[in-house]
Structure formats: structure tokens, C-alpha cells
Amino acid sequence: MPDIRKPSLTSVLGEMFDTHVAGAEFAIEVLGGGTVGDVRRISGRAFIEGGVRPFSLVLKTQLKWDRHGDPDCWRREYAIYKDGLDRRLFPSIKMPRCYLLDEAEESTHIWMEYVEGATGSTELHASELALAAEKLGELQAEFHLNGQRDLPYLRRYPAVRSSFGTAEWAKTPWMR
């Protein structure tokens, strides 16, 4: 479990409520995770001047890992928020608001808005996942067509080619 640092939490809550936060009581709930990432909901009460405010937010921690041909893939979401792409996306793609970014040599931490709703392949229908993939593909194609190929949140063409190569390899008759 990631260590919740008090200065980071009070900074995030100050951003959320647009006021000074003296402290907070909170509980942590695991939302998702795996071997290289950790997603936690942090809920509780923030102590602000004049009272107490309930809050709920998400802390996503991504650990460094290597994907063949795509060594910076583990930093992609962090780079999207750092560059402000989340505020420039077309209306069909909505991202949670980012309150704070922290990074270390081997990990990134994204403090973001908690959004109620369905997520992941177990809660979304295939048509919803297909639409998301289509819109993200259109976005990446737009960047490439406009000559913006070296952005940290885009997958590089050699990695894309290697993915297609893997897909073609999987279609070989002996794999069926």
C-alpha cells in the first residue's frame, strides 16, 4: 500500500476545496491494482477553517516497468496530466481532474478526482470499450498526422509495428 503523505494529502484537499486544509481523517479502499500499478480511493473528512468537509479522491501509483519497444509506457498517464492534455481533449473523452502529480525515479503518483461510474472490462460493454479505443486511436492519429510524434504519451511507431507483428504472429495456422 502506498504511504499517504500528509503534505500531499492536505495540498490535494486544499486544491479540491480552494481553501487551507488543517488536516484530515481518512480511510483507504483498494479500487484496482496489479503487479505494476495501484489504485486507491481515499475518503474521509477534511478540517478546514469554519468546519469539516467530506471528500473522496483517487491516488494512482504506477511503478516502473519495461514493455519491449515502449520503455516509457509506465509514465504515459502521468505525462498526459503533466502536459495538460486532459484539459485539451475533445468532448468524447473525459478524464478525472488531476489535483497533484508526484514522481520518483521508479514510480509516479497521480492524485485525482473520484468519479462514480462503471470502469474496466468487467463493467463496460464491448461497444463502450470499442468506442473508447476508437477515440483514443483517432487522437493518436491526429498527433502523428500533425507531426507531433515525440510526445511522451504517444506510443512510438516501432512499438506499434512490434504489436502488429505480434498480432500477425498469433494468427499463424499452428496457433489456432
Percent of the chain with pLDDT over 70: 76
**pLDDT tops 50 at residue 175:** no
Q: Give me the residue spans of the domains in the chain.
A: 6-119
**What does the pLDDT look like over 10-49, one tens digit per residue?**
999 999 999 999 999 999 998 875 666 789 999 999 999 8
How far is the C-alpha of 148 from the C-alpha of 140, rounded, in Å?
9
Q: Give the DSSP H/E element, type plus range, for residue 73.
A: none
Q: Give the model's pLDDT for residue 80.
A: 85
Q: Which CATH number fits domain 6-119: 3.30.70.1560, 3.40.50.620, 3.40.50.1000, 3.30.200.20?
A: 3.30.200.20
Higher-pLDDT residue of 62 and 141 is: 62
Distances (CA, A) of 8 to 15, 36, 103: 11, 22, 12
**pLDDT tops 50 at residue 176:** no
Higher-pLDDT residue of 18 and 90 is: 18
C-alpha cell at 48: 478546514
Residues 6 or more apart whose CB falls under 8 angstroms from that of 119 comprise 32
pLDDT range class, residue 156, cuts 50, 70, 90 = low
How far is the C-alpha of 2 from the C-alpha of 82, rounded, in Å?
21
Q: Is 78 exposed, middle or buried (0-12, 13-18, 19+ CB in 10 A)?
A: buried
The answer to pTM > 0.85 is no
Cβ–Cβ < 8 Å for 10, 21? yes
**What does the pLDDT look like over 92-111, one tens digit per residue?**
677 889 999 998 888 999 99
Q: Give the model's pLDDT for residue 24.
A: 96
Q: Give the DSSP H/E element, type plus range, for residue 131.
A: helix 126-145
Residues 6 or more apart whose CB falls under 8 angstroms from that of 58 comprise 31, 39, 40, 41, 42, 96, 110, 111, 112, 113, 114
Residue labelled with grid coordinates 483517432: 138
